[in-house]
Amino acid sequence: MRRQFLKTAAAVLTTGVAAIGFGSSAIAQDAAEFYKDNVIKWIVPYDPGGGYDEYSRIIAPYLEKYSGARVDIVNMPGSGGMKGAVEIFNSPADGTYIGIINGSAMVTNQLAQIEGADYRVSEYEYLGRIVADKRVLVASKLSGIETFEDLMQNGEPEIVGATGLGGSTYVDAVITGDVLGIEQRVVHGFDRSGDIRTAMLRGDVHAMWGSLGSALKGIKSGDHTVILHGEKNPTGVLEGIPSIYDVAGAQDDAERKVRILESWEALSAVGRPVAAPPGVPEDRLAFLREAFSAAMNDPEFVAAAADADRDLLFASGEEMGSIAAAATELEPDVEQLFVAAIRGEI
Amino acid sequence: MTILEGMISGFWQSISLSVFPYLFVGSVFGLIIGVIPGLSGHFAMAMAVTFLYQMEPAAGIAFILGAHATVAQGGGLTAILFSTPGTGQNAATLLDGPQMRDKGEAGIAVGAAMASCFLGATFGALVLGLLIPVLREVVLFFGPPEVFVLAFLALTFVAVLGKEDMTRSLIAALLGLLLAMIGVDNVTNTHRFTMGSERLADGLQLVPVILGLFAVAEMIDLWVRGGSLARNMPKALSAKETQAQIFQGIGLAFKNWWLVMRCSAIGTAMGLIPGLGSAPASFVAYGHAKQSSPDRETFGTGNVKGVIGPESANDAVEGGALASTIAFGIPGSSSMAILLSGLFILGLDTGPQMLNQNVDIIFIMIFTIIIGNFIGTLFGMFLVNPLSRATSIRATIMVPVLMAIIATGAFAGERAIFDIGVAVTFGILGYVMKILNYSRAALLIGFVLGFAVEKNLYLALLLDGPLFVLQPIPLGLATVTVVFLVWNVWVIIRDRKRVIPIEPKA
């Protein structure tokens, strides 16, 4: 990491010297020329080796290919991804600082006004989205629950595992439980979602919410079964399994429930976007968006992501803008519910 | 693929030309990272993982795991020669390693440490191999109640750790537990002891705390005292003397093979337990070594068994730590999370698929740990001479150089200037503790286990209610803990009675 730091420091220095040298003429450069042989600093708000880091490292060469710039990945973990998100938000808006963020978590932190959430999700300039998680509720084999019906008719509260208060596993469980009237006891405090999975294998915990991607391994081995999901048009392994909308639609007060669940889905839709600080010059932003879109659609990149078992769900920069707005501008009653859920007041 | 076929295939792949060079480079890289204070196995892996994208699976695994496996070995060198733990795992080595150096036995200490590391790593890796058929069951054995009681058991070892008295050790351990609470509580989202600082919301990082307590404190001590690191040593050992000492040390490790086995078993078992980490393992091993030796009083004054114990445990951890990652694809630590994503990048699936179809990959890991540590031992021997010369350089030159390295190490993990401040603060605390004879090891153990104790207590209470201690396994472990504590108190009382009549004369 130190070497990377030195490299970045050298790069920033060179850029700085170059900027002083060219000064006035820089304005005349068009965006493509600006990026050619320039350095883009790509901030990853987590440690190397995680999903965010892996996505970044797979796509970086393709962004280099289409932008002409060198992409330097800088890992900046801390505060559950907030440190890096704030860093991106506050970095110089010249188009050389971008980064991947944990969109959904950043939205919930912002809604609950958690200390350190010094950014506005809807004010970032987005290059686009790499992927959004499909949220699923999985039950362990040991629990004997095979369908959502089993869960509802079991007669005793199910133990649903979750990580920290306000984490996505927690918020998902509390909101869907509240809206759909699931009899459950949410046990939170696990360090990471992997620990919940171990607890399910031991039989300590019956079910958990999580992303389909990380649940796949357990589903394939038969340890876990998906019993509910948040997709309106389920495909693949989710086909034939009821969605939250199916369940809510059959209950009383269906319209209000579906409205809340749609807002909840909007949270997950923010997914993992690539963001730049607010105020990046328009021509450079347009150029970056185009390069990002080209990279995301490069067949070689798509194959590389598939090789690494990493899902893709591209959304353009413009689309991301409206997704982020939809996720943060909630109706008052829904917002109240979400904030209560994030703070653990439900 | 049967286990035997997997083993044979794994062995040939590990020493094949397409894998071995990567294993070699990885091991040497890990060793060097370990020697540099503050740079940990986690750091070595994080750097190594970025190279995996262009590698073949077998070569990639050997490279990344080799880099992780030898870090503790390198760290032991720094601990003994510079009184500075290269990594958290080596903090326990500080209790006797530097004292041996001061007696002019640096070579013996290093030789014993290197050989113990190798033996411990081999033990842990072999146990992992033997456990393959029952790996899933073994990993699922430890739930929150079990981990809580085990963490507590480990905590009671502070009582016998240092040469300091038990009251002071307990005070230090409790202070460590308190320090572990700093930050945002995962369960209630409450900011605890953060004093409004956003930096403290993430809690104190382990690396700067260890660097501060031991390394910075040592530098302050050295600066105040003057002279050179190696006390009572008019001149450095000659290359020939060092060489002879190293072989003598290696011999001692083999001579104490039964101790090595027991401490390796402690390390392996603690590696299997999720969330305990390797620093406690080496302290518990040290405690055990001290407890079980007839020459208990000489611990803390440069007893070679005080080096052999922790050093064999801290590399044995490796085998145990791999278990849950391999069996379920669930990482038990941050380093294992990086390894898992490395495997992911290499296109390898862990869990049942690996256990059934890719046993050879597991054996590549096992042989990587063994061969990697062997390479580390050989390479470490070459490093001793130049490094040990540096220990006789006078303080006015040595302290600034080492402080610069320590500050870099503290900064590197999170790239935060704040962490340098943490290291300095804990340096002052550590120095004060050293002067007043409070056990820094106890504080560190409390700090490291604080997380595990609190989190697992909370989960155990939620999942099994307040009577969770009465379940068979936790009850058994709790009984061991109580017996251990009572016995210790009894020994202390007995020893005190013995000492009292002599006191008036002294």
| Tens digits of residue pLDDT in B295-339 | 888 888 888 999 999 999 988 988 888 887 888 777 767 778 788
Domains parsed from chain A with CATH numbers: 17-132+271-328 (3.40.190.150), 135-266 (3.40.190.10)
Higher pLDDT among residues B356 and A176, named by residue:
A176
Higher pLDDT among residues B346 and A318, named by residue:
A318
Q: Poorest-confidence range of A8-12, A216-220, B156-160, B344-348? A: A8-12
Q: How far apart are CA A95 and CA A48, in angstroms?
A: 24
Interfacial B residues in 142-161 facing A (CB < 8 Å): 143-144
Q: Does the beta carbon of A53 lie under 8 angstroms from any beta carbon of chain B?
A: yes
> How many Cβ pairs closer than 8 A exist between chain A and B?
121
Backbone dihedral angles phi then psi of residue B56, each to the nearest 5 degrees: -75, 150
The DSSP result for A218-257, as a single string, is HHHHTSEEEEEE--SS--GGGTTSPBHHHHHHTSTTHHHH
| Mean pLDDT to the nearest integer, B340-349 | 79
Diameter of chain B measured on Cα atoms: 73
Residues constituting chain B: 506
Going from the C-alpha of A20 to that of each of A17, A23, A30, A35, A39, the distances in angstroms are: 5, 5, 18, 16, 16
Q: Does the beta carbon of B306 lie under 8 angstroms from any beta carbon of chain A?
A: no
Evaluate if residue A178 carries a pLDDT over 50.
yes
User: Is this model's pTM higher than 0.95 or not?
Assistant: no
Best interface-test mutation with A: which of B52, B137, B184 has the largest number of A CBs within 10 A?
Answer: B184
Confidence of residue A123 (pLDDT cuts 50, 70, 90): very high
Contact B267, B128 (CB under 8 A): no
- Among the partner-chain residues B47, B339, B455, the one whose CB lies closest to the CB of A191 is B455
- Among the partner-chain residues B275, B334, B353, the one whose CB lies closest to the CB of A47 is B334
Contact A204 B144 (CB under 8 A): yes
Higher pLDDT among residues B134 and B231, named by residue:
B134
Interfacial B residues in 23-52 facing A (CB < 8 Å): 43, 45-47, 49-50
**Which bin fits B390, alpha (ψ -120 to 50), beta or left (φ > 0)?**
alpha
Q: In this structure, which amino acid lies at residue A104?
A: S
Query: In this predicted structure, what is the pLDDT of residue A20?
Result: 43
| Mean pLDDT to the nearest integer, A111-120 | 85
Collect all residues of chain A within an 8 Å Cβ-Cβ radius of residue B357: none
Evaluate if residue A16 carries a pLDDT over 50.
no
Q: How far apart are CA B186 and CA B204, in angstroms?
A: 14
Best interface-test mutation with B: which of A57, A118, A169, A198 has the largest number of B CBs within 10 A?
Answer: A198
Query: In this predicted structure, what is the pLDDT of residue B307?
Result: 93
| Mean pLDDT to the nearest integer, A214-225 | 84
Average pLDDT score over chain B: 84
Contact A49 B46 (CB under 8 A): yes
Query: In this predicted structure, what is the pLDDT of residue A161?
Result: 92
Contact A103, A121 (CB under 8 A): yes
Strand order in the sheet with A315-316: A70-75, A39-44, A97-100, A272-276, A125-131, A315-316
| Tens digits of residue pLDDT in B375-434 | 999 888 888 888 887 777 788 888 888 899 888 888 877 778 899 999 999 999 999 998
Query: In this predicted structure, what is the pLDDT of residue B234?
Result: 55
Coil, strand or helix at A21: helix
Backbone dihedral angles phi then psi of residue A314, each to the nearest 5 degrees: -70, 140
Most confident of B58-62, B131-135, B449-453: B58-62
- Among the partner-chain residues B188, B191, B331, the one whose CB lies closest to the CB of A165 is B188
